Amino acid sequence: MKKKVLATLLASVMAVSLLAGCGSQSEEPAAPAETEAPAEEDASAEEPAAEEEAPAADAGDLGDPVTLTVTLTAVSTDTHAQAMQKFKEKVEELSGGNISVEVYTDAQLFSQEEEVAAVVMGDADMTLTSASWLTTGSPWVSMFTAGYLFNSYDHMTTTLNGEVGQEVFQKVSDEQGLLPLGAWYLGSREISLSEDKAVKTPDDLKGVNLRMPNSEAWLFLGEALGANPTPISFSELYLALQTGTVDGQDNPLGSVESAKFYEVQKSITITNHLVDSVWPAINNDKWASLTDAQKDIVRQGIEAGRDYCDSTNLQKESELVAFFEEQGLSVYDADIPAFQEHVLDYYLNNDISKDWDMDMYDKVAEIGKEFVK
């Protein structure tokens, strides 16, 4: 069963690999159009039209005031950290101050390894997490960490911000105590090294100490790519690259730029091995304490953050290869079909896939067919 599903997925991904380039070729998702009240033709049109949203005037009707504390390890210049600021602005605007959002970036409150537990325990209300940090409490989620699961940005966002995503997020909430509210596009992850070296196939990563985030799922992905995965927190990564503690790392191009890893790196290889996303998640008890009106405002804030994060990262991906070349880095293209075959086979023939929800996996693969050109 697994072999049949993964073979189908591999064929789907390989069919679009030549189109992938540096990242998704998808157009930026259009923001929802705001409905304007039609103008009256008579003199009464001089009266101000009622607006669709009047949150400030009705803030008292939302419920007791609430503060949401958000912990992030991302640097403040990272797109997803800035997207959380957009979330903050939208929520505070729509609630008229009834909901306050305090955003702490740069691991000011908790490290990357501590964030999920901090939210589950109620020491923080929200964070940006991902499937890789949720596998301990929900082992089946590891299938969303598999390399080449998604064939494009459109495949990822249609899946995780649609009915399948709602099913995934509710199941995580029931099992772990925090509820993901959506998926924001982080970028397609690539490999960058401190030496000028093309990584054409997994064989080129043999013996390479490749930094990976410190979770079982992330480290397994590093192995599947053919490298020697080395766990280092994101906040310590720049120094680790600079001192040679690790030989390279994997991240979306936008993160390489915002964290300035290009200052201590010499080459980047476009592997597109993971169409990556971050999941804004909230403590279950905190979510339950909100009124329906407050929840609606939070969800609108999540969409505002997603619009900003997705469109900004898609635009960055189309520009950053030229930027890195200007900074003196060599940029290479991997043999993506070779990586796909090796990575998917590695997952299939390992115990990590025994916990996968294969019915859900089938749904993901079926959605992917829609985006095969």
pLDDT tens digits, 44-60: 333 334 334 444 536 56
Q: Given this model, what pLDDT does residue 112 score? A: 87
Give the DSSP H/E element, type plus range, for residue 115.
Answer: helix 115-121
State the pLDDT at residue 350: 92
CB neighbour burial string for 27-37, b if at least 16 within 10 angstroms, e if fewer: eebeeeeeeee
d(CA 78, CA 85): 11
Give the separation between CA 89 and CA 101, rounded to whole angstroms.
8
Judged by DSSP in three states, 137 sits in coil
Going by the DSSP 8-state scheme, the letter that residue 305 receives in this structure is H
Q: Where are the domains of the chain?
A: 2-16+61-369
Tens-digit pLDDT profile for residues 169-186? 999 999 999 999 999 999
Phi (first) and psi of residue 105, to 5 degrees: -100, -175
pTM as predicted: 0.77
Matching residue, tokens 């325990």: 121
Is the dihedral angle over the CA atoms 329, 331, 334, 336 positive or is it negative?
A: positive
pLDDT reported for residue 8: 52
Domain 2-16+61-369, CATH class in plain words: alpha beta
Calculate mean pLDDT across residues 202-222: 94
What average pLDDT score do residues 225-242 get? 96
| DSSP line for 2-13 | HHHHHHHHHHHH
**CA angle (84 as vertex; 82, 85 as ends), nearest 5:** 65
Q: Which residues contact 205 (CB under 8 A, 6 or more apart)?
A: 191, 199, 225, 226, 227
Q: Are 129 and 173 in contact (CB under 8 A)?
A: no
d(CA 202, CA 335): 9
**Residue-level pLDDT at 34:** 35
Q: How high is the mean pLDDT of the chain?
A: 86
